[in-house]
Amino acid sequence: MRIALLGGGSWGTALAIHAARLHQDVVLWVRKDEVAERLRRERENARYLPGIPFPDNLSISADPGVIHDVDLVLIAVPSGAFRATLRWMQPRLREGQTVAWATKGLETSSGAWLHEIAEEELGAVFPPALISGPSFAAEVARGQPTALTAASQSERSLDRLAGALHGEALRIYRNPDVIGVELGGALKNVLAVATGIADGAGYGANARAALMTRGLAEMQRLGEAVGAQPGTLTGLSGLGDLILTCTDDQSRNRRLGRLLGQGYDLETARARIGQSVEGVETARQINARARTLSVDMPICAEVHAVLYQDRPVREAARRLLERDPTHENPAG
């Protein structure tokens, strides 16, 4: 199988390294010629994944033409660049190819789900397809055991994704629930900011467990409102990714939250992370969607208030704790 990974950040690089262990013809595409030249010369991505060498057969290119000759184009760019990437790709694609993405989040300007953007920009010829789940890039790049979900309503797309990535230390599970897989991958970033804030403020393990559990309840409520399958949200791309990002400091979202909890302002916290932190913009869009759909998401609302309304961390915690008592399971 011929595979092109678009995006020279940590996740795109890690997936390219893994794919190149399984297939001979894999190319990592980056926007700038000088970046491509540096990666070819150094044979590692020293900025994002230092010390992890590229397989000998992994090609690096900044040539837009590389996507025309591959079977699978897998996009791993920040969500804010997703639409522009599709528009750039569209005239270079050919019938019979599979387009999928490993991007998590919503469009920062509109709040659109990524599958909605894909349908708008690519049409029905390329059905939406993605991979998501509990995965830190460095561990995938090192070949450590990982399980991911491939989501699409196209069996052909699922076959391509599984064929491209399933093998060695990476296991792929199939799921037709595109919206559910997208929702889990986006919302877990906001909840990781929440648990990071709590840990940075010194609130302890009890608070972290409560935020994760009630955060899952918020994920399930929003999932019901948008038509996600309940099993998806308790699977790899929902609960699995939530556990990962809320408990390990490899998560940029959790690290940013910890800095906020320690008293740093958002601008300083983002500068110290030094990479894209999807949960910051996703918090804005999720909060807007929750209001539009009349879905109760108090944790996400308080994260939004801390990020965008200068609400002090301890005031946000007080507001959550002083809410009226309610049933844990309203249906019961």
- List residues with catalytic annotation: 188
Of 320, 67, 61, 57, the closest CA to residue 195 belongs to 320
Taking the C-alpha atoms of residue 320 and residue 299, their distance in angstroms, rounded to an integer, is: 7
Among positive and negative, which fits the CA dihedral 228, 231, 237, 241? positive
Q: What tokens appear for 16 in the block?
A: 């390219």
Taking the C-alpha atoms of residue 323 and residue 179, their distance in angstroms, rounded to an integer, is: 30
Q: What tokens appear for 38 in the block?
A: 């540096």
Please provide residue 76's backbone torsions phi and psi, each rounded to the nearest 5 degrees. Answer: -135, 65
Residue whose token pair is 């509990």: 134
Instruction: Say whether 124 sits in a helix, a strand or coil.
Output: coil
Residues 26, 59 contacting (CB under 8 angstroms): yes
Please provide residue 170's backbone torsions phi and psi, each rounded to the nearest 5 degrees. Answer: -115, 125
List the Cα angle 201/206/211 in 5-degree steps. 75
Q: What tokens appear for 216 in the block?
A: 């899952």
